[in-house]
Amino acid sequence: MRRYLTVVLAIVMSVLVLTALTPVYAENLTQDACNATGADASSVCTTNQTDDPLTGPGGIIGRAIDLLSILVGVASVIVIMVAGFSFITSQGEPAALSKAKNSLIFAVIGIVIVVLAQVIAGFVVRQV
């Protein structure tokens, strides 16, 4: 029963990780206000627009962060699946169970770190 629960938990976590990162499209209220009032030359309207290829929308830094996040996320999901398989095949052996448990914990910590790094880097890039 415990092995079954572990496998189900690993599958649920894998599905959550793969489906949790969906794009969100927010409305740019500042741009709408600038267009509606004709105040395109004001400091508010000009500072929110950037065509910088390094830090702008679709810039090199943003792409690199996205690529690294995807790679680490995929690696973490693979480690979670391997840890789940190790749980199943450990046959109650304490050393193997401990190794599988540690792998699972480190993979989840890795996912949390990647998500936080994505949020922090996105905030920093938007502020620059």
**Residue 81: predicted pLDDT:** 92
User: What local confidence, expressed as pLDDT, does residue 39 receive?
Assistant: 57
Helix %, strand %, coil % of the chain (to 5): 75, 0, 25
Q: Tell me, what's the pLDDT at 118? A: 83
Q: Give per-residue pLDDT as tens, 41-87.
A: 566 566 544 566 566 666 777 788 888 888 888 888 898 999 989 98
DSSP string, 30-74: HHHHHHHHT-TTSHHHHHT----TTTSTT-HHHHHHHHHHHHHHH
The pTM assigned to this predicted structure is 0.53
Q: Are 121 and 51 in contact (CB under 8 A)?
A: no
For residue 13, give the DSSP letter: H
**Radius of gyration (C-alpha) of the chain in whole angstroms:** 22
The helix-helix angle for 2-20 and 60-89 (nearest 10°) equals 170
